Structure 1
Amino acid sequence: MTALKLGYKASAEQFGPRELLEFSVLAENSGFDSVWISDHFQPWRHVGGHAPFSLAWLGALGARTDRVLLGTSVLTPTFRYHPSIVAQAFGTLGALFPGRVALGIGTGESLNEVPSSGLAWPEQSERTARFKEALDLIRRLWREERLSYEGKFYKTHNATIYDRPAEPVPIYVAGAGPYMAKLAGEQADGFICTSGKPWPLYSETLLPNVEAGLAKAGKPSDGIDRLIEMKLSFDTDRNRARDDTRFWAPLSLSPEEKMNVEDPCEMERLADALPIERAASRWIVSDDVDEVIEKVRPYVDLGFNHLVFHAPGPDQARFLKLFGERLAEPLRRAFG
């Protein structure tokens, strides 16, 4: 059985780089095994939002911590960043903090990629094709001494990554559908998804396709880290825990409601129109340790072994203290 890992989601959309750094150092001191930062050019909200540059921030966190795994959840290596720059950045991070860095990647959202580039947001088929090519290019740059790459979307000429770790940085692939889940199983070291969606998505679509990808690649069932971002609002006051979810109401918008929204002002308007009950619907909202364990249990029983907790409230230090004192050990005892 794969050992349970507990992670902390550093919410770059909600906090500035300095306070986010302090929260993440506190997360290591509170017993978390990993810290994952979202990589956004723009936040979900225009008022009160933040979007620190994740690659610079990860270097600062690595220098301030000793043991936690550092990663992106998730970065898009296909539009704002050329894949060769991603390979260089994570090669450097891996050399600085060997064995402590992971690259989490996905196909992206128009909110992040369009404002910074002015491009027309392509269909999913092109985004997936770009992603596969970027994944191949990043891996080859880490492996080959001089690479001239001729892809449909990306090219390099005698490119060399000079500063890189002895072993390639593990790559995690994020997915919300069958194709990306299968691709993760086949080609990645880890799979990333988020909690709070309809249960058949996990039990009938995502994890079965991860397994299919593993089988296609001839890899064992435990050959991939199954990471899920657990949306948890935990507090001694249940009403406070519920109200803390308000900032993250955009997560409760349907894919159709936010599909081509490129302006955080518009995203904020749509989210603020939601009632608090809907804003809280994506979250485990609780003031009871046993209740949290029982709501987490189905995900662990299904096969997720790396639980990255995303707390929505403004007082992250309070959450981390409560988690360290009340939740961390009960979770480890319950799930091994």
Structure 2
Amino acid sequence: MRTLKLGYKASSEQFGPTELLEYGALAEQHGFDSVFLSDHLQPWRHDGGHAPAVLPLLGALGACTERIVLGTSVLTPTFRYHPAVIAQAFATLGSLYPGRVVLGLGSGEAMNEAPLGIEWPSGKERLARLREAVELIRAVWRDERVTFEGEYYRTANATIYDRPEKEIPIWLASSGPAATRFAGRAGDGWITTSGKDPALYTDTLLPAIHTGAESAGRSPDDLEKMIEVKVSFDSDLETATLATRFWAALGLSAEQKAGIDDPVELQRLADELPLEQAARRFIVSTDPDEHVERIRAYVDLGFDHLVFHSPGPDQDRFFELYGREILPRLREEF
């Protein structure tokens, strides 16, 4: 198993660009190995929400840090962006910050695409678009004058002129079996998120990542396995619990949020949830031992890159408390 890596989720849905750059730099100073930024056109909440563009943010964050790995968790290269444009953007980032850039991709959310007049397709089509996008991105990174005739995307003699010396890894995000098999088959890494039914990981996702990798003739150990771990830690339990309220939309069931792509409506539905339901996706505790034990469960499943998402408005306090109470123990034990 790889050496365990500890990352920081810089939440673009909650913080503006200046704050995100500050927190990314602080993450490096506190010894984190990576910073991942989300790519949203619209946030989960209208009031107090943010959605700065991820591509300029990554460039700026690279310029104000020195060693930390930078990536997207996740970007959708199938509607708002042509895949070849994403290939060009990340080739540029990789040239600027060699060996420090990861392209994390997913099949998308309606909240980011429907506001642009895009008719939101089925999951089957979204996955097909993602497969084709990955193929095209790799083709224009690899070859010159690429003419691509896909079902969804086309290029005619496309060339990327500024290529990075080091290969940019593509990590694929998933939460269901078909997309996870694709991640195992085609990804350099795999991204998923915490706080769901444990059986989803043990009975569905991990078997699917193994099946996908083996179908491509490689070992599942070849993939870096990243999980966004949602944590709320404070010396006061009420403070830790209340901090999750901003992210209450994550506590909505699939049925509750089906067909909703407006942050105003998502906010209304989220605000109707009991606080206990809003907090259920997070490890909420004042006890460092409990945090370590519950995080250990993901390491035991084989995840080797933990990216921590803290929901509170005071991220400086997260760096202080988690950096003092939790991260040293994780590094020592794993």
Give the TM-score normalised by structure 2. Answer: 0.99
Provide the residue aligned with 1:137 in structure 2. Answer: 136
1:260 Cα deviation from its structure 2 partner: 1.4
User: Paired residues, what number?
Assistant: 334
Gaps of 5+ in 2: none
Given that residues 31 and 328 in structure 1 are in contact (C-alpha distance below 8 angstroms), is that contact kept between their aligned partners in structure 2?
A: no
Per-residue CA deviations over 1:186-242 (Å, capped at 9, x if unaligned) read: 111110010000011100111111111111111123100010000000111121011
Which residue in the other structure is 1:286 paired with?
285
CA contact (8 A) 2:172 2:183 kept: yes
Q: Which amino acid aligns with 2:328?
A: E
Secondary structure of 1:222's partner?
Answer: helix
Q: What does 1:80-91 correspond to in 2, within 5 Å? A: 80-91=80-91
The equivalent residue for 1:13 is 13
| Structure 1: distance between partners of 2:119 and 2:91 | 30
Give the equivalent residue in structure 1 for 2:240: 241
Normalised by the size of structure 1, how large is the TM-score? Answer: 0.98
User: Mapping of 1:159-308 within 5 angstroms?
Assistant: 159-308=158-307
Give the Cα–Cα distance (whole angstroms) in 2 for the partners of residues 179 and 334 of structure 1.
34
Deviation at 1:323, TM superposition (A): 1.6
Structure 1: which 5+ runs fail to align?
none
Give the aligned partner of residue 74 of structure 1.
74
Shift of 1:126: 1.1
Aligned partners of 2:5 and 2:33 also within 8 Å: yes
**Do residues 33 (structure 1) and 40 (structure 2) align?**
no
Q: Partners of 1:221 and 1:266 in 2: how far apart?
A: 40
Q: Is 1:23 matched with 2:23?
A: yes
Name the aligned partner's letter for residue 43 of structure 1: P
The equivalent of 2:2 in structure 1 is 2
Structure 1 outlier segments of 4+, above 4 Å: none
Deviates more, 1:266-275 or 1:162-171: 162-171
Deviating more after overlay: 185-194 vs 214-223: 214-223
Q: What is the CA-CA distance between 1:37 and the residue it aligns to? A: 0.3
Q: Is the 8 A contact 2:184 2:220 kept in 1?
A: no
> How far does residue 114 in structure 1 lie from its aligned partner after superposition?
1.1
Structure 1: which amino acid aligns with 2:79? F
C-alpha distance in 2 between matches for 1:46 and 1:164? 38
1:51 corresponds to: 51
Tell me the distance in 2 between the aligned counterparts of 1:53 and 1:27.
20
Amino acid at match of 2:16: G
Q: CA deviation at 1:168?
A: 2.5
Summarize deviations over 1:68-94 as a string: whole Å, max 9, x none. 110000000000011011101000000
| 1:294-326 deviation line (CA, Å, top 9, x unaligned) | 111111101011000000000001101112222
Amino acid in structure 1 at the alignment position of 2:214: A
Distance across 2 between alignment mates of 1:264 and 1:39: 15
| 3-state SS, counterpart of residue 279 of structure 2 | helix
> How far apart, CA to CA, are the structure 2 residues paired with 1:280 and 1:125?
31
Letter in 1 for 2:64: R
Q: CA deviation at 1:167?
A: 3.0
Aligned counterparts of 2:284 and 2:29: Cα–Cα separation in 1: 24
Tell me, in whole angstroms, the C-alpha distance in 2 between the residues paired with 1:136 and 1:14: 32
1:82-134: per-residue Cα shift (whole Å, max 9, x none)? 1011101000000000000000010001100111x202111111111111110
RMSD (Å) for aligned C-alpha atoms:
0.8
Give the 3-state SS of the residue equivalent to 2:128 in structure 1.
Answer: helix
Give how far 1:259 is off. 2.2
